[in-house]
Amino acid sequence: MQNESENSFLYSQGITEFLTIAAEYCLFIEKTPSLSTFDLLDKSRKILSLLYLKGSLLPKPDYELNEEIETFVTEEDWYLIHDAIQKKLGILDEYYDTQKSDKTGKIEIVSMSISEDITDVYQDIKNFVSLMNMGTEDIMKDALGECQSNFNEYWGQKAINAIKAIHTILLNPDILDSENDEDNSDEEERDTSDWFITKRQSDLNKMD
């Protein structure tokens, strides 16, 4: 009976909905080079908002992980995603926010990056989706617990930071018009060889 209860829990509506949105987020971010600046910002804001909402509703793990779980996003993957987003956003990538200094305890104004926020969220979410797709109950439970813990400690705040920064940008259409003009001028010269998916497929083909 306990196994049946665990199965029902892992495939509950809340977890299934979060997994669906998480998978959509990963696929969307991996297509960054093919997107316009506006589409990247607009849909990122929408998916991150849903991701945050559903992440906040994930159940808290009722046990502690005994060992580190497997990760799938490499340092190279992180930089491929980050650099693609940073290139797409250009001058829109950097924003400023307030943060409490660990040294002085005072509130300081610091420079932050939308591309870093989005990629950090991607890293945790991609690892979660990859583990859930493995389909074994123990791994899925560990993945869920890890994702929920990381939401509280890390990627939840990163998502909020990105949403806030993107919201501010989307309220200024003049800036977006300037960036879209640059996107259109580069359209004919776009080279898909450096896309994340293209590179990963190439790597897999070399292994066959």
How does DSSP assign 145-169, residue by residue? HHHHHHIIIIIHHHHHHHHHHHHHH
Does residue 99 form part of some domain? no
Does residue 167 form part of some domain? yes
Does residue 20 form part of some domain? yes
Lowest mean pLDDT of 67-71, 107-111, 174-178, name the range. 174-178
Percent helix, strand, coil in the chain, to 5, is 75, 5, 20
Does residue 103 form part of some domain? no
Q: What would the pLDDT profile of 85-104 be if each residue is shown by its tens digit? A: 999 999 999 999 988 888 88
Q: What would the pLDDT profile of 47-64 be if each residue is shown by its tens digit? A: 999 999 999 998 876 666
Give the pair of three-digit tokens for residue 105. Answer: 């305890």
Q: Count of residues for the chain?
A: 208
* Residue range(s) defining the domain that contains residue 53: 2-87+114-207
Does residue 139 form part of some domain? yes
Does residue 94 form part of some domain? no
- pTM over the 0.95 mark: no
Place of tokens 């420079």: 111
Going by their DSSP bridges, the two strands 94-100 and 107-113 should be labelled as: antiparallel
Give me the number of domains the chain comprises: 1
CATH number at residue 191: 1.20.120.1550
Does residue 83 form part of some domain? yes
